[in-house]
Amino acid sequence: MDKLIFTALNSLGNLRGTQVVTAQNLANQNVPGFRRDTLGEGKAFIIEDQGALTSRAFQIEREQASFSDLPGFMNQTGEPLDLAIADKGYFYIQPDTGGPPALTRRGDLHVGLDGSLVNGANEAILGANQQPITIPPFRNIVVDEVGRITIEPIEGAPGERLEVATIATTLANGADLVKGEDGQIRPKTGPLPAADQLAKVRQGVLEGSNVNSTEELISSIDLQRSFELNMRVVSTAKELDEAGVSLMRLPG
């Protein structure tokens, strides 16, 4: 009987992980460029007791989370520092937590007080030399499809143009990308792919999250029903166990 209970409890544990993923997606549905988290494939292990395998099999989740690489909705904002990658590809960032560089699709950029180019999460945007980009004061700024940044300096002559940096981008072809514990996108093993500048950058466009709130809400309802069914299995196993004990109890 305990095997039935262990199976139900293991299922409840997996449901809890799925609920965490669903909640994470719903919480980030309005974050620009957010990639929808998906449930890891997981694996199973068998408990070995005194040299013999038992009939209990447990599933554990993968250490690193996978995500959906489908594009989000492209919103035409007209803001010069709203950037989006048209199809596939990523920007390079330096997280503000001080971790190693990572990849992102988030393009709600702005220039900080020190001239650094950062996104809405205060992550530094890296240039083709893999260094944070610094933008001098400007009257106008243009970012072309390759990621080259050209400005009209405030102190420059009328019509003067100055190329200050190139935003590093990559298609990351062939790279097995996952999300780490800090939520950043990096290869599962090895360093970041080299910047190839093949991603098409669009200025004045902001990519939204690729989370479908309707799907996530429906999934949340299904998870709640599955939770209730598993709890019912535990209750039924308890009733069966009590009934078996009562049958074996001596009369009187």
Average pLDDT, the chain: 85
Highest mean pLDDT among 13-17, 25-29, 62-66, 156-160: 25-29
Please name the helix (run of DSSP H) or strand (run of DSSP E) that holds residue 2, with its range, or none: helix 2-27
Nearest residue to 227 (alpha-carbon basis) of 19, 54, 56, 22: 19
Tokens of 232: 């019912």
| 216-249 confidence digits (pLDDT tens) | 888 888 888 887 877 787 788 777 777 776 777 7
pLDDT in the model for residue 157: 85
User: Alpha-carbon distance 61 to 39, whole Å?
Assistant: 8
Percent share of the chain, pLDDT over 90: 52
Q: Looking at 43-47, 74-78, 122-126, 161-165, which range is the least confident one?
A: 43-47
Please name the helix (run of DSSP H) or strand (run of DSSP E) that holds residue 47, with its range, or none: strand 43-49
Which distant-in-sequence residues (6+ apart) come within 8 Å of 98 by Cβ?
none
Rounded to an integer, the average pLDDT of 153-178 is 91
The answer to whether the CB of 187 falls within 8 A of the CB of 170 is no
The answer to whether the CB of 53 falls within 8 A of the CB of 34 is no
**Strands 117-118 and 110-111, sheet pairing:** antiparallel
- The count of residues in the chain is 252
Does position 40 have pLDDT exceeding 70, yes or no?
no
Please name the helix (run of DSSP H) or strand (run of DSSP E) that holds residue 131, with its range, or none: none
- C-alpha distances in angstroms, 105 versus 121, 125, 194? 12, 11, 16
Ranges of H-type helices in 78-128: none
Tokens of 22: 């669903």
Please name the helix (run of DSSP H) or strand (run of DSSP E) that holds residue 15, with its range, or none: helix 2-27
- The string over 50-84, giving b where at least 16 C-beta atoms fall within 10 Å of a residue's C-beta and e elsewhere, is eeeeeeeeeeebeeebbbeeebbeeeeeeeebbbb
Rounded to an integer, the average pLDDT of 201-224 is 90
pLDDT in the model for residue 222: 85
Beta bridge partners of 108: 82
Name the pLDDT band for 91 (thresholds 50, 70, 90).
very high
| 111-132 confidence digits (pLDDT tens) | 999 999 999 999 999 999 999 9
